[in-house]
Amino acid sequence: MKAFKLILGTPVNAIPRPWLYMRVPGIMVNAFDLIQNGRYRDLRGNGLRKLLGVNDDVELWIDSGGYQFLKRGLDPGVDKLAKLYREIDADYYVSLDYPPGPRDEPRLRAEKLAKTIRAFWRLRSILRSLAEEGRLVPVFHMSAGPTLRLQLRAYEPYSVVAAAGGLVPYFMQLAGKKSRLKAVLFLALLRKLWHGRLHAL
């Protein structure tokens, strides 16, 4: 079994900060929070690490904030996210995704998955050095069969780290009976098929 590493998700201005009192291997903040933060300009370069009070031994991740944006009817767009990713130093940058809702119709799910794949390809072309270094992280969403194979073909040749996103409603049983089991089975299947590092959002 591959090693497990906990990445702690946190708002930028969160208090308390557990990593100041105990060993935390990684921290994740999201782009929505960074963009809304009044101190965004101070976060450029190594500013985010300084604000959080973490050194280079702690992995720093930035999530695209796709869910938070969509919840408010907003779309940051690939170009705006790429600008932020260029300006702020981190170890890993999660690609913009459009999480399908558990009750979305098949056609809408397919559209969101296609949009997520296109966003990764666009970010990959803009942030070429991050992609080549394996630091741009594509996002898989709940699927099976041809839809999952499509995501694998889109990401496998270009990434060593991937994320599984949009699973919170399933784990919270908001997607109907046995939805938590479906999420666990999806993660198990993805872990078997994806040969690189896998992060569950």
The amino acid at residue 75 is D
Q: 75 or 164: whose pLDDT is higher?
A: 164
Is it the case that residue 169 has pLDDT exceeding 90? no
pLDDT mean over 169-181: 83
The Cα 125–Cα 82 span in angstroms is: 10
Spatial neighbors of 95 by CB under 8 A, at least 6 apart, are 64, 116, 119, 120, 123, 136, 137, 138, 139
45 backbone φψ class: left, alpha, beta (φ>0; ψ -120 to 50): left
Structural domain boundaries in the chain: 7-200
Fold of 7-200: TIM Barrel (3.20.20)
- For the entire predicted model, the pTM comes to 0.92
pLDDT mean over 71-77: 87
pLDDT at residue 132 in the model:
95
According to DSSP, residue 61 is labeled E
Most confident among 38-42, 65-69, 113-117, 195-199 (mean pLDDT)? 113-117
Q: What is the pLDDT of residues 102-133, one digit of tens each?
A: 889 999 999 999 999 999 999 999 999 999 99
